[in-house]
Amino acid sequence: MKEICICPRLSKAMDLLGKRWTTLILYQLLEGPQRFNEIESALPISGRLLSERLKELEKEGIVERAVYSEVPVRVEYSLTEKGLALEGAIREVEKWSKIWIN
């Protein structure tokens, strides 16, 4: 996106949040830290895309990745402060969807 016009910050935000699955992944993580497979099971997303999205979100400082060297290995993803700050926005969409969808 070229994000020249309009509000450039919102534009940047939507580059992230407007990507397929991103908001649903964050919504899922609002439940608390979760493992790769837990998220994968909770959403109709494939491992390929989940992996891709989590990397993007980690790079943006929205999600944190923690590896626990157990057997087998456990990897947990959680929201950072920046990620948690999105709760208000996500809840608003949830509210809207409860009223206006279907």
Chain contacts with a second copy (rule: CB under 8 A): 1-14, 17-24, 27-28, 41-44, 82, 85-86, 88-89, 92-102
- Dump strand ranges (E) for the chain: 34-35, 63-68, 74-79
Residue with smaller CB distance to DNA, 71 or 101 = 71
Q: Token pair of 5, please?
A: 């016009």
4 binds, options a second copy, DNA, none, Cβ within 5 to 8 A by partner type: a second copy
Shortest Cβ distance from residue 101 to DNA (Å)? 19
